[in-house]
């Protein structure tokens, strides 16, 4: 019996980015659920236990770090990758303090590999 695909929860306000990443990750064998806003993800009652979150840093209303803070305050301990068009030392430091597994700069050259590494590290 084959293993069920790992679930990726992807939060990005840019529809083109969301859809391109979904396509790319599904081609790598992942199951992908899309969220257009942080509030859409926060409205989810039960997040899959084995999931990995991929969160864009720059979004309207609240940024990716604030979303992670809210998730952590709710007890969500899933691995998280933060993606951004511009990664600075300060952003990496702030992300690390929130327990974010990695910060990746766009364009994303090996998102699937990064996801596999954080999911493997969790096991």
- pLDDT (tens digit, 9 = 90+) per residue, 28-53? 999 999 999 999 999 998 899 889 99
- Euclidean distance between CA atoms 88 and 70, whole angstroms: 22
Per CATH, domain 7-122 is 3.40.50.2300: yes
Give the start-to-end residue ranges of the domains of the chain. Answer: 7-122
Residues 6 or more apart in contact with residue 35 via CB below 8 angstroms: 9, 10, 11, 12, 41
Q: For residue 103, list its beta bridge partners.
A: 82
109, exposed or middle or buried, with CB in 10 Å at 0-12, 13-18, 19+? Answer: exposed
Q: What is the mean pLDDT of the chain?
A: 93
* Predicted TM-score (pTM) above 0.75: yes
């Amino acid at each position: 019996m084959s293993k069920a695909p790992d679930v990726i929860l992807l939060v990005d306000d840019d529809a083109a980015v969301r859809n391109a990443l979904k396509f790319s990750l599904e081609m790598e064998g992942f199951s992908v659920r899309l969220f257009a806003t942080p509030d859409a993800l926060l409205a989810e009652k039960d997040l899959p236990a084995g999931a990995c979150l991929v969160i864009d840093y720059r979004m309207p209303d609240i940024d990716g770090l604030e979303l992670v803070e809210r998730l952590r305050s709710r007890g969500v301990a899933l691995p998280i990758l933060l993606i951004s068009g511009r990664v600075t030392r300060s952003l990496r430091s702030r992300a690390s303090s929130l327990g974010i597994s990695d910060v990746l700069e766009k364009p994303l050259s090996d998102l699937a590999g990064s996801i596999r590494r954080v999911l493997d590290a969790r096991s």
